Structure 1
Amino acid sequence: MGTQALIRFEDVEKVFQVRRKAGRLRRERHEVRAVDGISFEVPRGEMVGYIGPNGAGKSTSVKMLTGILMPSAGRVTVAGIDPSRERLRLARRIGVVFGQRTTLWWDLPLRDSYELVRRMYRVPDARYRANLDRCVELLDLADLLDVPVRQLSLGQRMRGDIAAALLPDPEVLYLDEPTIGLDVISKAKVRDFLREVNAEHGTTVLLTTHDLTDIEQLCRRVMVIDHGRLVYDGGLAGLHAIGDSERVLVVDFDRELPPVEVDGVRSVRVEGPRQWLRFPASASAAPLVARLAARYPLVDLSVREPAIEDVIGRMCAGSQGL
């Protein structure tokens, strides 16, 4: 797996002209900078989290990367191709899963949708069968192949969309909320599948999500976009440190106890035998749990991750100069 940049954003801007009311009959034209001078590179084979609050410019960025939108300024290249000028040529080299929008045929069984993908992308028979078998097994799709897409649940359809995007062996995969609507077991399967695709095939993945666990388990690098600007590019631990974010450890004891006193955590809420303990998101929960178990009658526990919106909000509030 090389370090060649597969995706390049060079001082990219995207400006939309919108009309807003300025009285009963008048409308004034305003500029909206959805993307405002962003630059970054993504090496071949890297998995990157691309996150930010709603309206930050994430979807606009991905649409420029796929050729749906043309940048107002700057330069976008994917695998050396200008997406807006050579969209059809690029389409054979990328896979896209847009959250609530399916690329599958609504009234056709899943199997027929996949056959259409094979023909559209001219996937050789042997490679198609191998890819389909792998997707069906790892994404647990065997019982869904003959079900019309319109009858699938959101989680089932998301798994179906991910498989369709990967059937042609794309070099780049853009994922928007790939685990939305999935239960815990299905989420784990999707994450394992994406990890395997990246490791075995060197597929470059750009992931947008509101599930911080997706980012933590799949991506070493995260980019944060806010108001159209790239405000952070680095590791997740660094993001937590800048945002001063915290995770919550919810613990159940065998009886009601006073607020716990253990180094590294602080009790913020007590309800009977249950307590809510906060600790820095950059810290490991394992040693904290070990210290709790050594001193208190622990029955059960769970860890709650900070919401991405909270992390970004804290970070931006403390980093106005970025």
Structure 2
Amino acid sequence: MDYTNAIEVSGLRKEFKSYSSRSGLSGAFRDLFTRNYKTLRAVNDINFTVKQGEMVGYIGENGAGKSTTIKMLTGILTPTSGQIVVNGMNPHKQRERFVQTIGVVFGQRSQLWWDIAVQESFRLLKKVYKVSDADYNSHMDHVIRTLDIGPLLDKPVRKLSLGQRMRCELAAALIHNPPLLFLDEPTIGLDVLVKLRIREFLKEINEKYNTTILLTTHDLSDIEALCERVIMLDEGNIIYDGSLNHLKEKWGEGKELQFELMEKAELATLQQLTKGMPVKWEMDEKGQIFTAQMEDIDEVISQVISKVVSAFKIRDIKINEISTEEIIRNIYERGTA
């Protein structure tokens, strides 16, 4: 084990058996005696390491295998094959000692008790993790103050808004000040201000305690704000593992031209206007804002602007770098990084 690594994964695989029923009455009768099973491979022999103190974005489409990986890394699921070492331990064989060294936040599951006050949940978790009064007070005073959850401590969890509950969930995961934090969709459904507060807090604990963070999310602005490195998963396979900057440099060499028209238009009209040119068009729901994606070539950009301006009355034009979200979408559409 390399003790500079918080996570080491080698040849990790997870398969699930799925039962499929036959059609018709005769099929149902046959199913009573013999069943058809299909093996689904959610995670396919993946390898990666995460160094201590790293903040890594673990991204992929729905069903790519992200949550399955997190559940294996946290010891909830047992791998079909492969090796996992997290904080120097096997998550399944050294379970009791292992859970003392990790914090977990699942955006759609709660670790707080629904009908009791938040601070009572914190006290129970403090006893579970055997945290001393001195450690709890010195660490949690900072967490409660930074996440601004002091006014919420006396309220039962069921009376909290989603944003309030997620801030309390994050605090609960940090009661024992773990060196490794797993976050699975922690900002799902949250408003912009709550997201910003959570991001700032995660940066702060990473700097203050060197906390390692593995973050899965569909909100790529979270990744851009927090992570220098991303691991991309597609159908259980890692298709990219590297820096976010390298991803942008390699795949983001393009521009977006956004035209806001003064009148409604058809997408096909814009496509016909630039026929034969390396341009991809998209349209908003109202049919007034059109976005053209193209390579960063001055001549092409100039020609597209000239053609659109000569054909339509324009309210506004914006020239943008292609976003990280668009880059990743393009990678998935092409099927390879």
Q: Give the TM-score normalised by the residue count of structure 2.
A: 0.77
The answer for the alignment partner of 1:290 in structure 2 is none
* CA distance, structure 1, for counterparts of residue 294 and residue 135 of structure 2: 46
| 1:133 correspondence with 2:156 | no
| 1:20 correspondence with 2:20 | yes
* CA distance, structure 2, for counterparts of residue 43 and residue 111 of structure 1: 33
| 1:193 correspondence with 2:209 | no
CA drift at 1:46: 0.2
How do 1:255-266 and structure 2 match up within 5 A? none
**One-letter amino acid of the structure 2 residue matched with residue 8 of structure 1:** E
Q: Give the TM-score normalised by the residue count of structure 1.
A: 0.80
Ranges in structure 1 where 5+ consecutive residues have no aligned partner:
260-264, 283-297
Q: Deviations over 1:25-58 (max 9, x none)?
A: 2341111111101000000000000010111111
**One-letter amino acid of the structure 2 residue matched with residue 20 of structure 1:** S
* CA distance, structure 1, for counterparts of residue 98 and residue 20 of structure 2: 36
| 1:108 correspondence with 2:124 | no
The answer on whether the counterparts of 1:139 and 1:159 sit within 8 Å (CA) in structure 2 is: yes
**One-letter amino acid of the structure 2 residue matched with residue 66 of structure 1:** T
The 3 A distance-change label for structure 1 pair 270 and 35 is closer
Q: 2:54 aligns with which of 43, 46, 55?
A: 46
SS at match of 1:100: coil
* CA distance, structure 2, for counterparts of residue 312 and residue 249 of structure 1: 19
The answer for the alignment partner of 1:180 in structure 2 is 188
The answer on whether the counterparts of 1:15 and 1:35 sit within 8 Å (CA) in structure 2 is: yes
The answer on whether the counterparts of 2:20 and 2:38 sit within 8 Å (CA) in structure 1 is: yes
The answer on whether the counterparts of 2:16 and 2:40 sit within 8 Å (CA) in structure 1 is: yes
* CA distance, structure 1, for counterparts of residue 165 and residue 102 of structure 2: 20
The 3 A distance-change label for structure 1 pair 202 and 229 is same
Task: Determine which structure has more spread, i.e. the larger CA radius of gyration.
Answer: 2
CA drift at 1:317: 3.5
Q: Deviations over 1:72-103 (max 9, x none)?
A: 11100101100011111110000000111010
Q: Deviations over 1:277-302 (max 9, x none)?
A: 567899xxxxxxxxxxxxxxx99999
Between the aligned residues of both structures, percent identity stands at 43
The answer for the alignment partner of 2:332 in structure 1 is 316
The answer on whether the counterparts of 1:212 and 1:305 sit within 8 Å (CA) in structure 2 is: no
The answer on whether the counterparts of 2:185 and 2:216 sit within 8 Å (CA) in structure 1 is: yes
* CA distance, structure 2, for counterparts of residue 302 and residue 162 of structure 1: 38
Q: 2:161 aligns with which of 153, 166, 178?
A: 153
The answer on whether the counterparts of 2:260 and 2:290 sit within 8 Å (CA) in structure 1 is: no
The answer for the alignment partner of 1:239 in structure 2 is 247
The answer for the alignment partner of 1:8 in structure 2 is 8
Q: 2:67 aligns with which of 59, 63, 71?
A: 59
